């Protein structure tokens, strides 16, 4: 396979700025960012509020258009109005607030909304809706009203709505920020499963524990990419992360302390499971 | 309390009424409403009550659930009743302070109250037995002929879909904001009308801000899901008239005929 | 200042077919100056319980005694209760409504019927407590602030009522790690300076373990467990069976124990865990 075809998303020197109401001054939110996303990968983008991570996500989905540089999704320039629907169908998006992205008062009708917009044949929509609801374990709730569901369930419906559009990539914009721990676990479980089924996942989050599940972590701060690598590589920069007001998972913190104490903890100990495995070697 | 409102809510079910084509139900409800205004004698209402009771029975929506929906509008019913009671002149049967209660007043007030109750129950039956999405689909279809003269039928239907979706959310939000302001010592229960109206500001401002935030988020989420107006859209469920719809149509026509007959011949 | 909750029961829609028992015979005591954590998953009765402490809900049965006064008793006015017990709801920034930060914070004190001078004094004090510079923020619109700042304004609005008991329902929900830390630090600081009782409802077990003197565990409308964080988090199996998380450190030690590595229960502090693990590795102890 050639390297070119594997790259689902290419971001080249992206610059984005919001204009003030008077139209004169502008805040640069994204400042010359470039990276590629490979097909089938799982990338976590981390940064504190105002770091530009959500703005970046919206640029990939053509909800926002670059002020400078370019974003290509499956080869389509997001600025090209001809292909805007191809871009959005390829790279679906799930937002933070589960309530404010569900259109219909019946679960299955909401899931059908995307495919309907794409003009898919009714019989195929039916099939896709059923499959998507099964994929998020919400088949039983197809006829329920969204406001009767828990936050985690609502967010899974929102995910099903995107899955039914058959995207190659799903961008999750802080999907668990408003959920309780149970909802958070449910949603992360679904994200993992979707990735295993071959969907390219971009997860915007500020939870380091969630980032540990990805195979690539990008740290953003003041509109720029500060760190980019595997979770191991990124978490090994503990001090820099703290300077950017980001924490590290407990296991990483503990591993760092143990290394300072002279214990040779391998670099891949980045979550509790691996830490437990490591300690058990001394049993 | 605020969540008890069933008006505009859907009661899931699989009755014959639930399965009727939404278009026939909308037209039926419109005809029913017109009939209520055609009827000018109690005997006509008696017939309407029987028909309505039969439909409720068939729909399998619990009566209790329907009546609960009446609670919030109870005030309006009482208000119209009292208004009619005092405002109609005729043979005086009782006097309260400076108001006269007339025989005609009692008749008129009772008549209007029954009409209002039948109107509300009948039209809530439409929303209780029809999925909101089908309801808006039905409206979209019925309005389609008018789009030739510039009526944005799809956009109207979409707006209604979203409004229906967010009614419960906004009610919940209202409940939350009220409690939060109460915790800050706000008092919504005492004082004169002017004071109470002023106390609404701490509820209404956050509520409007919420609504705008929802609108903004929704617009973005819909765009992300490739919403681009109604032109190229398909629908998961298409509407087709069935035999039951034809029967329903005949029954509705019969009801209308009966109402006219009552007015003309009795 | 102390709180006694005795046999508190609350039934929603009693007598109707959809009646539901939200609180079932809940009893606990809170001592003067305590920082109390309340944990339990969504729907466990936490929020029904805290709304009782503030008089927003009336108990079906039982009593709530704050500083010797029974809140459920006859002749206790709502204003009296709210002077004593302040409640900050989840996402409190959604309740802001005034044109300026100062006016919004003044809403509560005004409702208490205080005079102008006292109100101004309290607004300044509350802003100082939530670490918002008065000169910089007082005349700003609350809607022009960042998420974390809005939340501070909302918390200040309750603090300005000078409650002896401050209840916070998930005060850090939805905040990023930095704002999360800042808000928590601020709450601890307020607790220290105001010498109030703080009731802290949270899903974040790390925060609860670290900050609280006492923890109440709610499940199915009952208060199933109470004690110091050490006592409560020692009951790992019970908490897990209720679908609750453990603090990260406790969770790790629990997993180690499952694998046969002997570790003490109820440890949540990373310094302590570091020492335990170092000892273990260096000692090369074997349990078999």
ipTM: 0.89
Which distant-in-sequence residues (6+ apart) come within 8 Å of B33 by Cβ? B119, B122, B123
**A58, A100, A105 member nearest B214 (Cβ):** A100
User: Going by DSSP bridges, is the β-strand pair A42-46/A216-221 parallel, antiparallel, or unpaired?
Assistant: parallel
Contact B161, B132 (CB under 8 A): yes
| Mean per-residue pLDDT of chain A | 91
Q: Report the distance separating Cα A163 and Cα B133, nearest Å.
A: 21
Residue B265 has pLDDT above 90, yes or no: no
> Cβ A276–C256 below 8 Å, yes or no?
yes
Residue C263 sits at the chain A interface (C-beta within 8 Å): no
Quick one: average pLDDT of C222-239?
Answer: 95
DSSP chain C: --EEEEEEEEEESTTSTT-EEEEEEEEEEE-TT-EEEEE--TTSSHHHHHHHHTTSS--SEEEEEETTEETTSTT--HHHHHHHEEEE-SSGGGG--SSSHHHHHHHHHHHTT--HHHHHHHHHHHHHHTT--HHHHTTS-GGGS-HHHHHHHHHHHHHTT--SEEEEESTTTT--HHHHHHHHHHHHHHHHHHT-EEEEE-S-HHHHHHH-SEEEEEETTEEEEEE-HHHHHT-HHHHHHTT----HHHHHHHHHHHTT----SS---HHHHHHHHHHHHHHT----
Measured between CB atoms, which of A50, A151, A258 is closest to C274? Answer: A258
pLDDT of C286: 45
Give residue B85's pLDDT.
83
Tell me whether residues C97 and B210 touch, CB distance under 8 A. Answer: no
Question: What's the pLDDT at C17?
Answer: 65
Q: How far is A127 from chain B (nearest CA, A)?
A: 10
If you measure CA to CA, which chain C residue comes closest to B180? C89
Inter-chain contact B226–A114, Cβ cutoff 8 Å? yes
CA distance from start to end of chain A:
45
The mean pLDDT value for A182-194 works out to 95
CA-nearest residue of chain C to B179?
C56
Give the closest of C82, C97, C112 to B202, CB-based: C97
CB pairs under 8 A between A and C: 86
Chain B: list its partners (3+ Cβ pairs within 8 Å): A, C
Q: CA of A246, closest CA in chain C: separation in Å? A: 6
C-chain residue closest to B200, CA distance: C97
What mean pLDDT is predicted for residues C221-248? 94
pLDDT band of B196, cuts 50, 70, 90: confident
Decide if pLDDT at B95 tops 80.
Answer: no
The band of B1, judged by pLDDT with boundaries at 50, 70 and 90, is very low
CA nearest to C255 within chain A:
A276
Residues of B in contact with A121 (CB under 8 A): 234
What is the residue-averaged pLDDT of chain C?
A: 92
User: Which token pair is B244?
Assistant: 């039951």
Q: What is the mean pLDDT of residues C83-102?
A: 94
Beta-carbon contacts below 8 Å between A and B: 104
B189 lies within 8 A of chain C by CB: no
B·C CB contacts under 8 A? 57
What is the average per-residue pLDDT within C161-178?
A: 93
On chain B, the residues whose CB falls within 8 A of the CB of C51 are 179
Find all residues with CB under 8 Å of C29, minimum gap 6, and list them.
Answer: C2, C3, C4, C5
Verify whether the Cβ–Cβ distance A245 to C178 is below 8 Å: yes
Bridge partners for B22 per DSSP: none
Contacts of B227 in chain A (CB under 8 A): 113, 117
Q: How many residues does chain B have?
A: 266
| Contact yes or no for B225 and A161 at CB 8 A | yes
| pLDDT of amino acid B2 | 47
- Locate tokens 């009482």: which residue? B78
pLDDT tens-place string over residues A205-255: 988 889 989 999 999 999 999 999 999 999 988 888 988 888 889 999 999
pLDDT tens for each residue of A35-85: 999 999 999 999 988 889 999 999 999 999 999 999 999 999 999 999 999
Tell me whether residues B221 and A95 touch, CB distance under 8 A: yes
Contact yes or no for C95 and B177 at CB 8 A: yes
- State the residue for tokens 């329920």: A144
C111/C108 Cα distance (integer angstroms)? 5
Any bridge partners for residue B100, and if so which? B95
Q: Do C56 and B182 touch (CB under 8 A)?
A: yes
Is residue C23 within 8 Å of C49, Cβ to Cβ?
yes
> What pLDDT, on the 0 to 100 scale, is given for residue C284?
58
A neighbours by CB contacts (3+ pairs under 8 Å): B, C
C-alpha distances (whole Å) from B132 to each of A46, A105, B10, C278 are 39, 7, 7, 62
Q: Do B185 and C86 touch (CB under 8 A)?
A: no
Three-state DSSP state, A41: coil
Q: How far apart are CA A169 and CA A200, in angstroms?
A: 4
Question: With an 8 Å Cβ cutoff, are A122 and B238 in contact?
Answer: yes
Mean pLDDT of all residues in A105-128: 94
pLDDT value for A2: 46
**Structure letter (DSSP) for residue A222:** T
Instruction: Read off the pLDDT band of C13 (50, 70, 90).
Output: confident
Q: Is the pLDDT assigned to residue C285 strictly greater than 70?
A: no
pLDDT in tens, B138-168: 888 898 888 888 888 888 888 888 888 888 8
The reported pLDDT for the residue numbered C288 is 40
Listed by number, the residues of chain C in 190-219 with a beta carbon closer than 8 Å to a beta carbon of chain A are 203, 206
For residue A134, which of A103, A104, A156, A101 has the smallest C-alpha distance? A156
Q: Report pLDDT for B173.
A: 92
| CA A19/CA A9 separation, integer angstroms | 26
- Looking at residue A25, what is its pLDDT? 59
**Residue-wise pLDDT tens digits, B28-69:** 999 999 999 998 888 889 989 998 999 999 999 888 877 776
Q: Where are the domains of chain B?
A: 1-130+239-266, 152-233
């Amino acid at each position: 396979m050639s390297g070119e075809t594997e790259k689902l998303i290419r971001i080249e020197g992206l610059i984005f700025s919001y204009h003030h109401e008077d139209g004169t001054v502008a805040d640069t939110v994204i400042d010359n960012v470039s990276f590629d996303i490979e097909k089938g990968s799982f990338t976590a983008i981390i940064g504190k509020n105002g770091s530009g991570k959500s703005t970046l996500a919206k640029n990939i989905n053509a909800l926002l258009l670059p002020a400078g540089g370019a974003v290509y999704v499956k080869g389509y320039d997001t600025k090209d109005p001809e292909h805007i629907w191809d871009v959005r169908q390829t790279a679906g998006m799930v937002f933070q607030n589960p309530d404010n992205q569900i259109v219909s008062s019946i679960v299955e009708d909401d899931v059908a909304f995307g495919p309907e917009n794409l003009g898919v044949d009714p019989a195929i929509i039916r099939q896709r809706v059923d499959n998507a609801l099964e994929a998020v374990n919400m088949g039983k709730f197809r006829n329920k009203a969204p406001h009767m569901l828990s936050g985690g369930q609502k967010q899974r419906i929102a995910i099903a709505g995107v899955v039914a559009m058959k995207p190659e990539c799903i961008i999750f914009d802080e999907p668990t920020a408003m959920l309780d721990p149970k909802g958070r676990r449910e949603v992360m479980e679904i994200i993992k499963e979707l990735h295993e089924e071959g969907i390219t996942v971009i997860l915007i989050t500020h939870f380091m524990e969630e980032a540990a599940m990805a195979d690539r972590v990008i740290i953003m701060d003041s509109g720029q990419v500060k760190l980019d690598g595997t979770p191991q590589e990124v978490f090994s920069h503990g001090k820099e992360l703290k300077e950017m007001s980001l924490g590290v998972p407990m296991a990483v913190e503990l591993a760092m302390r143990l290394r300072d104490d002279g214990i040779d903890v391998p670099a891949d100990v980045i979550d509790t499971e691996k830490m437990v495995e490591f300690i058990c070697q001394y049993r | 309390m605020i969540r008890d409102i069933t008006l505009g809510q859907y009661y899931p079910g699989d009755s014959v009424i639930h399965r009727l084509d939404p278009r026939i139900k909308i037209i039926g409800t419109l005809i029913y409403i017109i009939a209520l205004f055609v009827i000018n004698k109690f005997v006509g209402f008696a017939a309407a009550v029987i028909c309505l009771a039969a439909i409720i029975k068939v729909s399998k929506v619990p009566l209790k659930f329907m009546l609960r929906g009446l609670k919030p509008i109870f005030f309006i019913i009482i208000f119209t009743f009292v208004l009619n009671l005092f405002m109609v002149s005729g043979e005086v049967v009782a006097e309260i302070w400076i108001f006269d209660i007339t025989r005609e007043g009692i008749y008129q007030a009772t008549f209007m109250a029954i009409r209002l109750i039948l109107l509300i129950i009948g039209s809530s039956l439409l929303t209780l037995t029809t999925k909101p999405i089908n309801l808006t689909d039905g409206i979209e279809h019925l309005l389609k002929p008018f789009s030739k003269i510039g009526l944005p039928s799809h956009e109207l239907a979409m707006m209604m879909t979203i409004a229906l979706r967010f009614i419960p959310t906004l009610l919940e939000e209202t409940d939350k904001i009220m409690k939060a302001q109460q915790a800050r010592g706000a008092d919504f229960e005492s004082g004169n009308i002017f004071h109470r109206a002023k106390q609404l500001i701490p509820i209404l401002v956050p509520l409007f801000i919420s609504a705008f935030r929802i609108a903004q988020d929704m617009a973005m989420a819909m765009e992300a899901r490739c919403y681009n107006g109604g032109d190229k859209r398909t629908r998961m469920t298409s509407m087709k008239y069935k035999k039951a719809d034809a029967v329903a149509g005949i029954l509705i026509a019969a009801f209308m005929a009966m109402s006219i007959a009552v007015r003309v011949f009795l | 200042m102390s709180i006694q909750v005795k046999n508190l029961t609350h039934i929603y829609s009693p007598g109707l077919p959809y009646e539901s028992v939200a609180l079932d015979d809940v009893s606990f005591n809170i001592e003067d100056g305590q920082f109390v954590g309340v944990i339990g998953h969504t729907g466990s009765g936490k929020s029904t319980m805290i709304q009782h402490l503030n008089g927003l809900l009336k108990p079906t049965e039982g009593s709530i005694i704050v500083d010797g006064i029974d809140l459920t008793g006859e002749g206790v006015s709502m204003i009296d209760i709210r002077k004593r017990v302040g409640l900050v709801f989840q996402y409190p920034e959604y309740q802001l409504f005034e044109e300026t930060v100062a006016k919004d914070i003044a809403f509560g004190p005004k409702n208490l019927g205080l005079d102008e001078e006292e109100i101004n004094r309290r607004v300044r004090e509350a802003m100082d407590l939530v670490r918002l510079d008065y000169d910089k923020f007082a005349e700003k619109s609350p809607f022009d602030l960042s998420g974390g700042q809005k939340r501070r304004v909302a918390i200040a609005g309750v603090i300005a009522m000078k409650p002896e008991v401050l209840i916070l329902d998930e005060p850090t929900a939805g905040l990023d790690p930095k704002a999360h830390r800042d808000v928590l630090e601020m709450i601890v600081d307020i607790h220290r300076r105001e010498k109030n009782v703080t009731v802290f409802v949270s899903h974040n077990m790390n925060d609860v373990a670290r900050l609280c003197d006492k923890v109440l565990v709610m499940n199915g409308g009952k208060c199933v467990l109470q004690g110091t964080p050490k006592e409560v988090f020692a009951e790992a199996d019970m908490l897990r069976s209720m679908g609750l998380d453990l603090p990260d450190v406790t969770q790790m030690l629990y997993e180690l124990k499952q694998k046969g590595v002997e570790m003490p229960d109820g440890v949540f502090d990373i310094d302590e865990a570091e020492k335990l693990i170092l000892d273990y590795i260096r000692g090369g102890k074997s349990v078999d």
